Chains A and B, each alone.
Chain A
Amino acid sequence: MTTEVAVLGAGMHPWGKWGRGFVEYGVAAARAALADAGIAWRDVGSIVGADTVRGGYPGYVAGATFAKALGWQGARVASVYAACASGAQAIGTARTQILAGMADVVLVVGADAAPKGFFRPAGGDRPDDPDWLRFRVLGATNPAYFGLYARRRMAVHGDTLDDFAQVKVKNAAAGALNPNARYRKPVAVEEVAASAVVADPLRLLDICATSDGAAALVLSSMDFARRHGAADPVRIRAVSTVTPTYPTTVLDLPDIATDSAAVVAPADGTFRASIARAAYEEAGIGPEDISLAEVYDLSTALELQWYEDLGLCGEGEGAKLLRDGVTASGGRVPVNTSGGLASFGEAVPAQAIAQVCEVTWQLRGTAGARQIEGARVGVTANQGLFGHGSSVVAVR
């Protein structure tokens, strides 16, 4: 297929709370990805940085910041911001340049040094900013929204607190096997139930932490990959960066209200479902082809929602899929074999890239103790604040 690009290299800086700057993490991940690809930094034609809003001005021009730290060598540069979808947009930008013939080899880097506790909006009095307003007017943190989704699932689909806790148990078991994960201890259902309530019905262990971390990829054209001796590389076949369709009818971050559906009828399916649908259509596959998925488990309940939005099961059947073991390691479609955000925490511009790193290693068969068998097609899914879709399909 001419629309494919090769994943020549993948690398991470281990995630945690290291107390250092985002550039250091990004450079470490970039060097790891370059080494994995067997590519010298001087041979990279373009670098794309996923921005971090916490790194001061260098964070806003992350591509150039990483390029300078690695050593100026004249590469084309881009920096992209799309909140949690920044990493996917960086991958999308790199892929576009490769498919357009503008670059043979592109380095994609995302890194963050996240603050402790709740994410908060940028400073100042900014009543024209929906992210500022939801905090100022309502005190509505990210976990508050996750709590709303979780309670809604309990009311509409009959999900239970035990179902949510079992997601954490599953992802912690996977994360315990991942040297790049921040949390590497198995968790029992009782520990989830004993942790403090943050936003009813969700508890501390239902919600992902904030972390420092970085992830990087080296992407290339298929021709370059062949010349480079990579005859059968993992290939990216689709990158979905869609926006929602008006009117959106599911209350979502950072908005205080949904659109009104009184005049314009809503489209079939939700925004989240449209993200995966666009990726499947671009890749020419369906959910039945998926070997594994990496999804944004910002909360345990949200992971169950993604099962449905990815089409792994019908609406309201997410908890059943989990209970049946389908999404566990060894199941038909393992989800979050990396351990997910439950084990990594959020390092915003890095996490969508980290998802593709995990899929790459699984498709190569080099995922070590957490390797699943016979993976051929992997999908990632997440969503960025302010209406950014993000999904990547990779194949082997």
Chain B
Amino acid sequence: MVDNWFAGEGDDFRLLGTRCAACACVFFPREDGFCRNPGCAGGELAEVPLSRRGRVWSYTDGRYRPPAPYVSDPELPWEPYTLIAVELEAERMVVLGQAVPGVAVTDLEVGMEVEVVPGVLNEDNGTTWTTWHWRPVEVGA
């Protein structure tokens, strides 16, 4: 439902931000109108992919159905989703996202490594709304 926030398939999937040509500050969700650095007079904002992996800053879940505009089928029992806030080292920013389905808060710890993967937000009459999900990176063999 939002254009150009992410792109790519499989291992090439990335969140897309923008970077100011004048001061190099990065913005996500993408800022196309103006550079928000108060010390910058403003430059061209160019698309830039964000780091694929980061570390869990915090996490929670939603045990109750959120209100619209979140889309969910009121006929079906509510399935809680998990939210993860992820710290990206290179960008030094925290990005919130849903965890991949099946990951519960009990599977997570602050500091754990996760990676961004494509996901489905909801489907309706042949339309699929895609999104990004955070998935814990497998450790060990």
* Contact partner, B83, options A117, A148, A152, A156, Cβ 8 Å: A148
> Please, could you name 16 A-B residue pairs with CB atoms under 8 Å apart, sorted by A?
A118-B67, A133-B2, A136-B1, A140-B83, A141-B64, A150-B60, A155-B111, A156-B110, A249-B92, A251-B85, A256-B29, A257-B28, A258-B93, A260-B27, A260-B92, A263-B26
> Which residues between 77 and 117 of chain A lie within 8 Å of chain B, taking CB atoms?
117
Known contacts A118-B66, A152-B58; is A246 also within 8 Å of B38 by CB? yes
Assembly CA distance A129 to B34 (angstroms)? 16
* Contact partner, A200, options B25, B60, B67, Cβ 8 Å: B60
Give the top 7 A-B pairs by smallest Cβ distance, nearest first: A147-B60, A155-B110, A120-B67, A139-B66, A139-B70, A152-B58, A261-B92
> Which residues between 1 and 55 of chain B lie within 8 Å of chain A, taking CB atoms?
1-2, 23-29, 36-39
Nearest residue in A to B64 (C-beta to C-beta)?
A198
Assembly CA distance A209 to B67 (angstroms)? 16
Known contacts A151-B60, A257-B94, A260-B93; is A135 also within 8 Å of B83 by CB? no
Nearest residue in A to B88 (C-beta to C-beta)?
A260
Nearest residue in A to B28 (C-beta to C-beta)?
A257
Within the complex, what minimum Cβ distance (angstroms) separates B115 from chain A? Answer: 16
Known contacts A200-B105, A246-B38; is A141 also within 8 Å of B62 by CB? yes
Q: Are B83 and A262 in contact (CB under 8 A)?
A: no
Q: Are B60 and A148 in contact (CB under 8 A)?
A: yes
- Which residues on the B side are within 8 Å of A261 (C-beta)? 92-93
Asked if A127 is at the interface of the complex by the 8 Å CB criterion, the answer is: yes
Within the complex, what minimum Cβ distance (angstroms) separates A340 from chain B? Answer: 22
Q: Are A147 and B85 in contact (CB under 8 A)?
A: no
Q: Are A263 and B69 in contact (CB under 8 A)?
A: no
Asked if B141 is at the interface of the complex by the 8 Å CB criterion, the answer is: no
Q: Mark A11-39, 1 if CB is under 8 A from B, else 0.
A: 00000000000000000000000000000
Known contacts A148-B83, A155-B58, A200-B105; is A132 also within 8 Å of B37 by CB? no
Q: Could you list 8 further interchain pairs (A-B, Cβ under 8 angstroms) beyond the known A141-B62, A200-B60, A256-B96?
A: A135-B68, A135-B69, A136-B71, A258-B94, A259-B27, A262-B25, A262-B90, A263-B24
* Contact partner, A262, options B26, B69, B71, B109, Cβ 8 Å: B26
Asked if A369 is at the interface of the complex by the 8 Å CB criterion, the answer is: no
Assembly CA distance A148 to B56 (angstroms)? 11
Q: Are A249 and B98 in contact (CB under 8 A)?
A: no
Q: Are B37 and A246 in contact (CB under 8 A)?
A: yes
- Which residues on the A side are within 8 Å of B96 (C-beta)? 134, 138, 140, 148, 251, 256-257
Assembly CA distance A150 to B110 (angstroms)? 12
Within the complex, what minimum Cβ distance (angstroms) separates B82 from chain A? Answer: 8
Q: Are A251 and B57 in contact (CB under 8 A)?
A: yes
- Which residues on the B side are within 8 Å of A148 (C-beta)? 57-60, 83, 85, 96
Asked if A194 is at the interface of the complex by the 8 Å CB criterion, the answer is: no
Asked if A306 is at the interface of the complex by the 8 Å CB criterion, the answer is: no
Q: Mark B88-108, 1 if CB is under 8 A from A, else 0.
A: 001111111110000001000
Q: Are B25 and A137 in contact (CB under 8 A)?
A: no
Q: Are A263 and B23 in contact (CB under 8 A)?
A: yes
Number of chain A interface residues as a range: 35 or more
Interface set of A (CB-CB < 8 Å, partner B):
117-118, 120-121, 125, 127, 132-141, 144, 147-152, 155-156, 196-202, 246-247, 249, 251, 256-264
Known contacts A197-B63, A198-B63, A264-B25; is A138 also within 8 Å of B83 by CB? yes
Asked if B61 is at the interface of the complex by the 8 Å CB criterion, the answer is: yes
Q: Are B93 and A137 in contact (CB under 8 A)?
A: no
* Contact partner, B62, options A125, A144, A151, Cβ 8 Å: A144
* Contact partner, B63, options A135, A199, A260, Cβ 8 Å: A199
* Contact partner, A151, options B28, B59, B71, Cβ 8 Å: B59
Nearest residue in A to B104 (C-beta to C-beta)?
A200
Interface centre among B61, B72, B95 (most CB of A within 10 A): B61
Q: Are B1 and A257 in contact (CB under 8 A)?
A: no
- Which residues on the B side are within 8 Å of A155 (C-beta)? 58, 109-111
Known contacts A118-B66, A197-B63; is A144 also within 8 Å of B94 by CB? no
Q: Are A135 and B29 in contact (CB under 8 A)?
A: no
Assembly CA distance A199 to B61 (angstroms)? 5
Within the complex, what minimum Cβ distance (angstroms) separates B73 from chain A? Answer: 13
Nearest residue in B to A119 (C-beta to C-beta)?
B67
Q: Are A136 and B85 in contact (CB under 8 A)?
A: no
* Contact partner, A263, options B37, B57, B67, B94, Cβ 8 Å: B37
* Contact partner, A199, options B29, B60, B69, Cβ 8 Å: B60
Q: Are A151 and B58 in contact (CB under 8 A)?
A: yes
- Which residues on the B side are within 8 Å of A147 (C-beta)? 60-61, 83
Q: Are A136 and B69 in contact (CB under 8 A)?
A: yes
Q: Are B26 and A121 in contact (CB under 8 A)?
A: no
* Contact partner, A137, options B39, B64, B121, Cβ 8 Å: B121
Known contacts A117-B67, A151-B60, A257-B95; is A264 also within 8 Å of B37 by CB? yes
- Which residues on the A side are within 8 Å of B27 (C-beta)? 259-260
Within the complex, what minimum Cβ distance (angstroms) separates A369 from chain B? Answer: 35
